Amino acid sequence: MSDALRFEWVRLRTLRSTYWLIASALVLNATAAFLVAFVTRDDPLDNDIVGTAITSGGANPPVPLAAVFIAVIGILATGHEYRYGTIQPTLTAIPRRSTVLVAKIIVVAAVATAFAVVSMIANVAVGTVFWGEFPDLTSHPLDEALPGYLILVLLWGVLGTVLGQLFRGVASPLILILAVPLVVEQLIFRLSFVPALDWLQPAVKFLPFLAGQQLVNLSGEAGGTTVAGSGFELFDRWAAGGVFATFVAIILIAARTLFERRDA
């Protein structure tokens, strides 16, 4: 395993795209923090403002914007191997396929975790310039939403890695991680408000990407979050995170199983 981890780490840090994607994600998050802090600089500082700035929107965007860049790093970690035909020499050097896949997941997860921590620190620094004070990050719901953001970014990184392995390429996973949360899930969510289609409402809480966003919910409610304008609730923070984690685990099992059975 140590050889596989060393190989994957060298491969990842020698790719120019890794640095561009991480830098773009950091700039995107810092820009969002700057905008939130700037427009609220004269408002009383509350947890909703602080959480929105640090997590770049909380649960409001349909996808965590910067986490998409980390997912792309994961897609490239596996998809590039098939795009450029390097998977064969990789498996010749490390014939244990599970070891290869686990090493890629561990390295991408470590990069995702480091990114999330650095990004949150940078966003706090940007916000403090305008707020004039350092926010209390231990107050509720920040004490749960900020660890939730770290877990969310990590899961997106792992999801990108296993999707790249499942589809053995780059294009299909890229389309999927954008089309499903931004088009498919949003369409189901909106249609569930139509009276004739209200039978869709019980399924909304199980939409994986929508559920994952609840990890950074800033409502502060201990229980489930009621969707505005409707009578149904989403799962609470950690149950919803469990839905997204289960979705990632299912993709991981499928990718690992097919990786073992396919010719390469």
Give the pLDDT confidence score for residue 36 in this predicted structure: 86
Mind spelling out the 3-state secondary structure of 140-151? CCHHHHHHHHHH
In a domain, 129, yes or no: yes
In a domain, 217, yes or no: no
| Domain of 32, in residue numbers | 1-199+246-261
In a domain, 240, yes or no: no
pTM over 0.85: yes
Q: How far apart are CA 235 and CA 250, in angstroms?
A: 19
Q: Please give the average pLDDT of every successive group of 10 residues along the chain, which has 264 residues.
A: 84 86 91 87 81 82 85 90 81 84 93 93 88 81 89 95 91 90 89 81 88 83 53 81 95 91 74
In a domain, 208, yes or no: no
In a domain, 204, yes or no: no
In a domain, 118, yes or no: yes
In a domain, 157, yes or no: yes
Question: What angle (nearest 5°) sits at the alpha carbon of residue 29, between those of residues 27 and 35?
Answer: 100
Provide the number of structural domains found in the chain: 1
Give the pLDDT confidence score for residue 228 in this predicted structure: 54
